[in-house]
Structure 1
Amino acid sequence: AGRRVLDPSEATRMPVDMVSGATVTMMVIADSMTQSAVKIARSRGLDAGAVSVASEPAHRTIDQTGSALESWQALLGDGSVRRLQITNRELDDLFQRTGNAAAIARPQQGNPNASFVDVYVALASVPTIGRSLLGDAEYDRLRQDLKPGQQAILVAGDGPYSFRGSGYVRGGIFDRIEVIQSESSIRFRDRNYRRVGALSAEGAPDFPEIGVFVTPDGSNLDPGASWRFQLLVQRATGALDKAFVTTGLDYATPEKFLTAPVSPPAAVAPPVAAAPAPAATQPAATGEAEPPLWQRMWQARKLDIAIMLAAIGVLTTIFFFQDFLVKWPRAFERIRLGYLAFTLVWLGWYEHAQLSVVNILTFFNSLRGDFRWEYFLRDPLVFILWSAIAAALLFWGRGAYCGWLCPFGALQEWTNRVARWLHVPQVRVPFWLHQRLWPFKYIIFLALFGLSFGSLGLAEEMAEVEPFKTAIILHFAREWWFVLFAVGCLAPGLFIERFYCRYVCPLGGALAIPARVRMFDWLKRYKECGSPCQRCANDCPVQAIHPEGTINPNECIQCLNCQVLYHDDQRCPVVIQKRIKREKFLALQSPSMVPEPKRKPRVLVTVNGREQSVERKPAASQAASTEGENQ
């Protein structure tokens, strides 16, 4: 069962979770499916009359009293664990039925009888099933996290095809799986997912992929009714094109784990609907009346969009009034650290709006094919960010993003500050070596860019050189080798500030290429900068200032540290000299510095018991000497 696309009552209903919580690819598929369903229904005259309402079945819930432990084979035998296995031959048959010539022309390689995907599914919120598969400690933690009405589904997979896919890495959405019950379609985000290392049930095999998915708030999966676990399988048909087919398994909680049925109150039969009007006079169906998918996505994220626009407005204000703000070093430092915390926590870890070099590769590859703005508009925050960055590149260069709006860059800066607070020694790279390490990020970007024209999918895999997905989107909840790589990218930054930004980041290299066309050059310099003064060059966090005093716009991250020094009369030698001269001038103008008129020496004598001040007369020898000099 699915959504009744022709039912007028569906027009005002919120989109099912398949649309509201999916990646761009899955949103397009879901939107296309809905529109196709409308067209097919109309062509076959299925839109006449009202949809009859079926009587509700008796409601059943999970029996929470059971807690026995069962073996893997016992769980398989009673249906507590269900299995979906597809061989290479069966996969080819599935694509054969779709009639997609491009997919049929690319059969699965390898042994036809070899397993392509092998997935096991179980309802882990059932006490006996959950304790048997997860163990007592893990199950108890799961139960504490479950809110009323939430269910937990365990999925374990084997075979070359992953049920998790890579969509959750890029956008935090598991776009290959969904749970369907009646008219509800449930999709899972990374916040609904927890990784499991191994199953605890006796005799359970080792699986490379095990995860527990918690149903989102408001999804209301009924454990007493059957539901379907659906898996999306994709096949590459070209550099940019893919074919899709769905398969799945039906799951029903074993009777022994459910309470006795409770009959619902009798429902009043709805009135019989009148005969439908002719097609020409009927109102437009929901499928055609609905706004485009990207508009629905923007409507659903109004608050997020407002916060994003406000953040960009604040950053623009900082740049336009930087000359005033940098005169207050402590206040400016707090503003910058607060903004970086917002970028890391809200923009990165919460909203997952971490840009990637993959976005650039996808954009340029789309220019070679059927370019449509609608595709990029379907992710509001990413689209707003890229639009702001495009404008910022013309005004200030790459620094607006790299120095302020990049969550991974913010993470590097915060970890380095903590390291400094812990007195971790800092390493300054010699400038000649630093200058020769710059090109690596450009080389990495150009390699990915060239590779994308041959195989965009392979370029996306190679783009794992960016640890953004692991550190920001997945919160380090990933396979150990990805976590190790991400930590390896962050660790040098404890000793060399923003090490990854300086030498490795392909996104930074891509943004640095057009940096020289910027319109504004608001970073002020003195003629003494670089000759002889090296204060700013030594304090620059990314060593973007050459020894001769010039700032390299390709490497500058607009942290404005040099501008703080520019106005600091306690650290900048030029301003210090100006301050000293000013203080001397003011001191000379002070009344205390004006010389008093010369007075004759006077002595204090006592006459008749009273003290009197009288002019002191010079001694006879001194008077004679003075007289001789006068002659």
Structure 2
Amino acid sequence: MAALAWLFIAHCASAEGLPRERIEDFIVPPMSLGEALNDKGVWQLLNSGGAETGYVFETSVMAPLPGFSGAPINMLVVLDLNGRFMDVKLIEHNEPIFVSGLGEAPFRQFLEQYRGLSISDNMVVGTPYGAGGDGGQLVYLDGVTKATASVRIAHESILAAALQVAREKMQGISAGPPALPDLSIDEPLTWQDLVDQDLIHRVTYTNAEVQQLFEGTIWQDDDPEALDDPEALYLDLWVADLGPPSIARAVLDEDTYEELQYFLSISTSDAPILMVETARHGLVTEDFVRNTSPDLIAAHQDGLPVAMRDADIFVTLADDAPDALHDGTAMILRTDRRLGFDPTRDWLLSIQAQRQHGMFQPETGSVSLDATLSSPERFYTRPAEVRRLSPFEEAIRSRQTDLIVLGIAMAVLIPVLLFGQSWLAARKLFTPIRLATLAGVLGFVGWWGQGQLSIVTPLATLQTALTGGSYAFLLYDPFGLAVWVAAIAGFVLWGRGLFCGWLCPFGALQEFAHHIGRLLRLPQITISATWDQRLKSVKYIALAGLVAVTIFAPAHMDKAAEIEPFKTAITTFFIREWYYVAYAALWLVLGLFVFKGFCRYLCPLGALMAIGGALRLRRWIPRRVECGSPCQLCRVKCNYGAIKKTGEIQYSECFQCLDCVTIHDDPKQCVPLILAAKSQKRRPQPEAAE
């Protein structure tokens, strides 16, 4: 109970998030941290002028998905008001592969890929699938070799947290594919057609209407022209969506249309909006710079600001446009559809009307002249949204070929061991076949597929069970999960033998070390039966120690799990700090003299596999009455010491090498068969007796 309480307190502490001063350390000037927006660790991001420009939050608070250590990966995410990632930084994690394997550098490089992307993008980690291009297609993030599962967990944490913020603070920013102009539609339209079909919008405000908005302020008397002629137009604005070619061709002259099409061929995700103003307002101030955002024009959709900027295209209208428009202020603004802007849905255009009060240091006041606009659906098409696969589906897709090869190998190996073990063990080439199989396990399952099982996974599962977390992290590595499924299925059929004897890459490496030692004629150290049994208990002590660390000091679990040399020898292929390499090399050098010393005496995963072997439902190694008394040949030949003097198989220590099966079925090796054959020869034949 004390352990559970400690874990609960630790979990709650991590869920509270970092204090303000710690988060401020991650904010890069001139940006600064504003006020806390809720009790979930969401903060304001302020620009140099003190205006809100985005949101800052931690993933471990918003979406505490457990990693392979059992603890969440905590990252700081900075979003702008449009849902675009400004930064993602690593705060804290306990992922074993990064803590003491690859180091944090590749993890941080992975997180740098989010800058500039939007939560509206369909982002995936792994092998691309679906069509490329603009619109609703996918954005691919390069994973980290040997750590794909960990970065997928990080990716899902980032998205889950960001979408929470979007729903709560951005009124649910669009995450689907935007509507795109249907280029196949080509309607011959005139200017009058545009007006009649409401394809061009006219927004008007009189001086009197603007005066009413300023009424009661210090600026109410600061526009003499409005007071002198209240019925005159202050704003006479014409707005047209130039995305559909039919509308653009009807509004613009030929040269401007050609220039616009060239612009759109380069900026394929931009939506162009034409604005022509013929009255007093003029759309821009004297300080306006081309190709920037107009300071008097703003747009919103779904409660979110729509970033608009000048497309820097000189505009000439079509000949049949009214003369007043030819003399007005015309500009084409552009906005990015990938940020969620959809011209077919209502969006709010706000034109700012300004007045100044005072002579020497005038005070500027403004009011908003609003209009709700939209474009007809018939000119647009909505590409089928690429369905975003679940993390498990994405992982399977990216490892599809490897999983197929692994499946075929398992489909061959398991039936042969289940139904044809005696046939296999009797082959003259059995030893080369076994070594070839182990070479495939080492090369394909281990170094290539990164399918080396580790005690870290069961310990993380235990920690998740104690803290009530999610087991989703098990799905992020389908290749390793497939090996786990095979190993667990093997418990029922053979005990620990299938994994430890045939599917463990480091076990295969140890067995190769033994054969190399024999080829070099190195002396082989034989452990006495008494000490062999004593040393075999050490692995259970190691397992118990790791369980204790997981319960009482989970933050140190990744270091304690380094008792396994798997990460060094298999996962990172010996590219680590020298002391980890020396430790792994020690066991391989020892394996030249002592048969699979680590596997037999210290491996905590082997201890767990031995315990799991209690699920075994059958005794699959054939025995005779004479086994053990008087015959001891199998026991003497068993390198694992898994046969008792009585001839009984100790299945908790059996690695399924099949050497004893070979002896049992060979009339030239099995002592009872040899004696029976000699007895048969000495027995007189019926013909001779007659």
Q: Please report the TM-score for the alignment, with normalisation by the length of structure 1.
A: 0.54
1:3 paired residue among 117, 131, 134: 117
Counterpart-to-counterpart distance in 2, 1:364 and 1:50: 44
Q: How does 1:366-515 map to 2 (within 5 A)?
A: 366-515=464-613
Q: CA deviation at 1:326?
A: 3.9
Classify the secondary structure of the residue corresponding to 1:367. Answer: helix
Aligned counterpart, 1:27: 152
Cα pair 2:137 2:385 within 8 Å, conserved? no
Q: CA deviation at 1:517?
A: 3.1
Relative distance call for 1:299 and 1:532 in structure 2 (3 A) is same
Which amino acid counterpart does residue 313 of structure 1 have in structure 2? A
Q: CA deviation at 1:24?
A: 3.5
Counterpart-to-counterpart distance in 2, 1:548 and 1:274: 80
> Cα deviation per residue 1:547-581 (whole Å; 9 max; x = unaligned)?
22111111111111110100111111112123334
Which amino acid counterpart does residue 625 of structure 2 have in structure 1? K
Cα pair 1:470 1:482 within 8 Å, conserved? yes
Aligned counterpart, 1:84: none
Q: CA deviation at 1:3?
A: 2.8
Classify the secondary structure of the residue corresponding to 1:393. Answer: helix
Classify the secondary structure of the residue corresponding to 1:554. Answer: helix
Relative distance call for 1:367 and 1:46 in structure 2 (3 A) is closer
Counterpart-to-counterpart distance in 1, 2:143 and 2:524: 49
> Cα deviation per residue 1:180-229 (whole Å; 9 max; x = unaligned)?
xxxxxxxxxxxxxxxxxxxxxxxxxxxxxxxxxxxxxxxxxxxxxxxxxx
Alignment of 1:306 with 2:404, yes or no, is yes
Counterpart-to-counterpart distance in 1, 2:399 and 2:388: 17
Cα pair 2:642 2:653 within 8 Å, conserved? yes
> Cα deviation per residue 1:493-540 (whole Å; 9 max; x = unaligned)?
212211111111111011111323310211011111111211111111
Relative distance call for 1:321 and 1:579 in structure 2 (3 A) is farther
> Cα deviation per residue 1:153-178 (whole Å; 9 max; x = unaligned)?
xxxxxxxxxxxxxxxxxxxxxxxxxx
Cα pair 2:153 2:476 within 8 Å, conserved? no
Alignment of 1:536 with 2:634, yes or no, is yes
Relative distance call for 1:545 and 1:283 in structure 2 (3 A) is farther
Counterpart-to-counterpart distance in 1, 2:562 and 2:164: 41
Aligned counterpart, 1:580: 678
Q: CA deviation at 1:51?
A: 11
Counterpart-to-counterpart distance in 1, 2:383 and 2:556: 42
Counterpart-to-counterpart distance in 2, 1:350 and 1:526: 42
Cα pair 1:470 1:476 within 8 Å, conserved? yes
Classify the secondary structure of the residue corresponding to 1:15. Answer: strand
Aligned counterpart, 2:615: 517
Relative distance call for 1:39 and 1:271 in structure 2 (3 A) is closer
Q: CA deviation at 1:331?
A: 3.0
Which amino acid counterpart does residue 275 of structure 1 have in structure 2? P
Cα pair 1:352 1:472 within 8 Å, conserved? yes
Alignment of 1:317 with 2:385, yes or no, is no
Counterpart-to-counterpart distance in 1, 2:660 and 2:582: 34
Higher mean alpha-carbon deviation, 560-569 vs 317-326, is at 317-326
- Consecutive unaligned residues in structure 2, runs of 5 or more: 1-114, 123-133, 181-333, 348-373
Cα pair 1:536 1:562 within 8 Å, conserved? yes
- Consecutive unaligned residues in structure 1, runs of 5 or more: 53-268, 596-631
Counterpart-to-counterpart distance in 2, 1:389 and 1:506: 15
Which amino acid counterpart does residue 405 of structure 2 have in structure 1? I
Q: How does 1:135-534 map to 2 (within 5 A)?
A: 275-277=343-345, 289-326=387-424, 328-534=426-632
2:138 paired residue among 5, 10, 13: 13
Cα pair 1:412 1:493 within 8 Å, conserved? yes
Cα pair 2:524 2:593 within 8 Å, conserved? yes
Cα pair 1:35 1:287 within 8 Å, conserved? no
Aligned counterpart, 1:153: none
Aligned counterpart, 1:243: none
Counterpart-to-counterpart distance in 2, 1:399 and 1:20: 30
Q: CA deviation at 1:327?
A: 5.2
Aligned counterpart, 2:278: none
Cα pair 1:397 1:518 within 8 Å, conserved? yes
Which amino acid counterpart does residue 496 of structure 1 have in structure 2? V
Q: CA deviation at 1:457?
A: 2.7
Classify the secondary structure of the residue corresponding to 2:466. Answer: coil
Q: CA deviation at 1:415?
A: 1.1
Classify the secondary structure of the residue corresponding to 1:547. Answer: coil
Runs of 4+ in 1 over 4 A off after TM superposition: 18-23, 35-42, 44-52, 269-274, 278-289, 581-585, 587-590
Cα pair 1:20 1:297 within 8 Å, conserved? no
Counterpart-to-counterpart distance in 1, 2:644 and 2:650: 7
Relative distance call for 1:274 and 1:23 in structure 2 (3 A) is closer
Q: How does 1:552-631 map to 2 (within 5 A)?
A: 552-582=650-680, 588=685
Q: CA deviation at 1:33?
A: 2.9
Relative distance call for 1:313 and 1:456 in structure 2 (3 A) is farther
Cα pair 1:6 1:286 within 8 Å, conserved? no
Relative distance call for 1:451 and 1:286 in structure 2 (3 A) is farther
Q: CA deviation at 1:314?
A: 2.1
Cα pair 1:327 1:568 within 8 Å, conserved? no
Which amino acid counterpart does residue 155 of structure 2 have in structure 1? A
Counterpart-to-counterpart distance in 2, 1:449 and 1:308: 31
Cα pair 1:6 1:287 within 8 Å, conserved? no
> Cα deviation per residue 1:296-333 (whole Å; 9 max; x = unaligned)?
11111111111222222222112212344245232322
Counterpart-to-counterpart distance in 1, 2:547 and 2:174: 49
Higher mean alpha-carbon deviation, 434-443 vs 453-462, is at 453-462
Q: CA deviation at 1:30?
A: 2.0
Counterpart-to-counterpart distance in 2, 1:358 and 1:520: 29
Classify the secondary structure of the residue corresponding to 2:394. Answer: helix
Cα pair 1:529 1:548 within 8 Å, conserved? yes
Counterpart-to-counterpart distance in 2, 1:298 and 1:391: 21
Higher mean alpha-carbon deviation, 535-544 vs 470-479, is at 470-479
Counterpart-to-counterpart distance in 1, 2:136 and 2:146: 19
Cα pair 1:398 1:556 within 8 Å, conserved? yes
Cα pair 2:511 2:595 within 8 Å, conserved? yes
Which amino acid counterpart does residue 27 of structure 1 have in structure 2? R
Higher mean alpha-carbon deviation, 569-578 vs 36-45, is at 36-45
Counterpart-to-counterpart distance in 2, 1:271 and 1:456: 46
Cα pair 1:565 1:571 within 8 Å, conserved? yes
Relative distance call for 1:297 and 1:547 in structure 2 (3 A) is same
Cα pair 1:416 1:493 within 8 Å, conserved? yes
Relative distance call for 1:19 and 1:32 in structure 2 (3 A) is farther
Classify the secondary structure of the residue corresponding to 1:460. Answer: helix
Higher mean alpha-carbon deviation, 482-491 vs 278-287, is at 278-287
> Cα deviation per residue 1:114-163 (whole Å; 9 max; x = unaligned)?
xxxxxxxxxxxxxxxxxxxxxxxxxxxxxxxxxxxxxxxxxxxxxxxxxx
Q: CA deviation at 1:472?
A: 1.1
